[in-house]
Amino acid sequence: MRLSQYFLPVMRENPSEAQVASHRLMLRAGMIRQSSAGIYSWLPLGLRVLKRVERIVREEQDRAGAQEILMPTIQPAELWRESGRWEDYGKEMLRIRDRHDREMLYGPTNEEQVTEIVRASIKSYRDLPKNLYHIQWKFRDELRPRFGVMRGREFLMKDAYSFDLDQKGAKHSYNKMFFAYLRTFARMGLNAIPMRAETGPIGGDLSHEFIVLSETGESEVFCDPLWLETDILSSEVDYASDLEPLFRQWTALYAATDEKHDPATSPLPPDKLVTARGIEVGQTFYFGTKYSRPMGAFVTLADGESIPIEMGSYGIGVSRLVGALIEANHDEDGIIWPQSVAPFALGLIDLRPSDARCRALAEDLYGKLLAAGVEVLYDDREESPGAKFATMDLIGLPRQAIVGPRGAAAERVELKDRRTGARSELSLEAAIGQLALRP
Ligand code: ATP
Ligand code: MG
């Protein structure tokens, strides 16, 4: 993509409404534009990152055996009357009436909707287990939408729902999502710590919040310092095996949110605990028959007995993750994308497009990189070098390739690593060789 043609409305000044780095940088880097409080449009650069995050989430859900569906954003009130949540859910729920005066709502979550789908077609124990998920926009009329996409009113969530015959099966489904979550966040370079949590309006008795430690997080959390050294990607997770031993191993280290933490029963004394703030990027719930029983989602066993389905639900804040990723990856110059979610792998800067040799070398490099399948954002504009460097650093592509008049004369290119700042000068061929290698 040529920057001269790209829609990238960067801002030089810090927007006054942004209180945290991620919000400020998303606005400055032209990733999003506010529509109204807590509601945003995603512009090209932001959308590319959102899609990257979504893809990793999807791959790990699929790997763990969940099946993707797509449910609507608008749901009928009747379903929520059946579960009792039409009354229980507070002002966060946006209630709507259609032209026939029928009550509807913009879904804040989908337990009722998915239970309706399953009860209509799953009748026998032989049809279980199942795990269905979707990645869909949600609306919650938050009291205080803030921090940009981190606490929006309209936000993108991945929500999965598991259906099992008995508690043992339901726990296995829970464990699969537990490890899928650890892998998902780790692939984005985030260490999200699973913490025992309260279940809130979803209900149930087993729940973990996956928390990324960050000063700007809204939750206060407590954990064993050993959590900071764990790496799930170095473990083999076999979803077909009994995951309970691995689950026990991964939950042996203490970690609890504010609501669950009790200094009296904590296994670690206060001076041995990490006390920090954190961002909730996902939550898993096991709630048994809370929805299946009142909504009549039953299956028949081999002996003819009819029993309510055991359920769990599993959410990931896909759009919140974009903010959380920036909170964890930025410096004073801007964003520093981890390779796995970067909107482009490389920023190519032509420092002097008016210089024929510079232009020819940059064009040559651009064409060859595209042919090699590298995603490049090519700054081919007539701008000062300072402005070009500032823009590239701000939008945070992991690597930069810089073509200047001096290098061009010798057919050499400078490569810069955005995170470390390390620079090297290479021949055109060597640069292409390095850049075309997938990380
Ligand atoms: P919170 O405690 O932050 O309000 P929640 O516990 O109400 O979130 P869940 O029902 O667990 O949210 O939703 C699943 C995930 O969706 C959360 O872990 C979070 O990452 C994301 N999420 C929830 N509310 C918002 C929001 N207002 N804006 C962006 N993401 C959100
Ligand atoms: Mg939650």
For ligand 1, the distance from its centroid to the CA atom of residue 82, given in whole angstroms, is 24
Q: Give the closest ligand to the alpha carbon of residue 218.
A: 1
Residue 199 has pLDDT above 90, yes or no: no
Please write the tens of the pLDDT for every residue from 246-292. 999 999 999 999 989 989 889 999 999 999 999 999 999 999 999 99
For ligand 2, the distance from its centroid to the CA atom of residue 206, given in whole angstroms, is 13
Closest CA to 415 of 360, 386, 376: 376
pLDDT on residue 438: 58
pLDDT on residue 34: 97
pLDDT on residue 197: 86
Best mutation site among 320, 322, 325, 326 for ligand 1 pocket (most ligand atoms within 8 Å of CB): 320
Please write the tens of the pLDDT for every residue from 363-406. 999 999 999 999 999 999 999 999 999 999 999 999 999 999 99
**Nearest residue (CA) to ligand 1, atom 3:** 280
Q: What is the DSSP secondary-structure string of 56-95? A: HHHHHHHHTT-EE----SEEEHHHHHHHTHHHHS-TTSEE
Average pLDDT over residues 309-327: 98
Residue 75 has pLDDT above 70, yes or no: yes
For ligand 1, the distance from its centroid to the CA atom of residue 7, given in whole angstroms, is 30
Among the residue ranges 132-146, 251-265, 313-327, the one predicted with the least confidence is 251-265
Atom of ligand 1 nearest to the CA of 321: 20
| pTM, full prediction | 0.96
| CA–CA separation, 26 and 394 (whole Å) | 10
Higher pLDDT, 170 or 438: 170
For ligand 1, the distance from its centroid to the CA atom of residue 9, given in whole angstroms, is 29
For ligand 1, the distance from its centroid to the CA atom of residue 318, given in whole angstroms, is 10
Please write the tens of the pLDDT for every residue from 207-245. 999 999 999 999 899 999 999 999 999 999 999 999 999
For ligand 2, the distance from its centroid to the CA atom of residue 142, given in whole angstroms, is 13
Residue 437 has pLDDT above 90, yes or no: no
| CA–CA separation, 361 and 369 (whole Å) | 12
Q: Give the closest ligand to the alpha carbon of residue 315.
A: 1
Tell me which residues have their CB closer than 6 angstroms to ligand 1: 109, 140, 142, 151-152, 155, 157, 200, 280-283, 315, 317, 319-320
pLDDT on residue 202: 65
Share of the chain above pLDDT 90, in %: 94
Categorize the per-residue pLDDT at 94 as very low, low, confident or very high, splitting at 50, 70 and 90. Answer: very high
**What is the residue-averaged pLDDT of the chain?**
96
Pairing of strands 310-317, 154-164: antiparallel
**Nearest residue (CA) to ligand 1, atom 31:** 317
pLDDT on residue 205: 76
For ligand 1, the distance from its centroid to the CA atom of residue 140, given in whole angstroms, is 9
Atom of ligand 1 nearest to the CA of 210: 18
Residue carrying the six token digits 């993707």: 68
Type and span of the H or E element at 312: strand 310-317
**Nearest residue (CA) to ligand 1, atom 18:** 282
Residue carrying the six token digits 């002996």: 303
Please write the tens of the pLDDT for every residue from 156-184. 999 999 999 999 999 999 999 999 999 99
Average pLDDT over residues 409-419: 96
The DSSP code for 124 is B
Residue carrying the six token digits 């994308």: 337
Give the tokens for residue 78. 């009747």
For ligand 1, the distance from its centroid to the CA atom of residue 218, given in whole angstroms, is 11
| CA–CA separation, 334 and 26 (whole Å) | 10
**Nearest residue (CA) to ligand 1, atom 6:** 283
Q: Give the closest ligand to the alpha carbon of residue 210.
A: 1
Atom of ligand 1 nearest to the CA of 282: 18
Categorize the per-residue pLDDT at 203 as very low, low, confident or very high, splitting at 50, 70 and 90. Answer: low
Best mutation site among 22, 112, 181, 280 for ligand 1 pocket (most ligand atoms within 8 Å of CB): 280
Best mutation site among 153, 211, 283, 326 for ligand 1 pocket (most ligand atoms within 8 Å of CB): 283
Residue 439 has pLDDT above 60, yes or no: no
Atom of ligand 1 nearest to the CA of 281: 20
Residue 415 has pLDDT above 60, yes or no: yes
CB contact at 8 A, 79 and 93: no
pLDDT on residue 90: 92
For ligand 1, the distance from its centroid to the CA atom of residue 157, given in whole angstroms, is 8
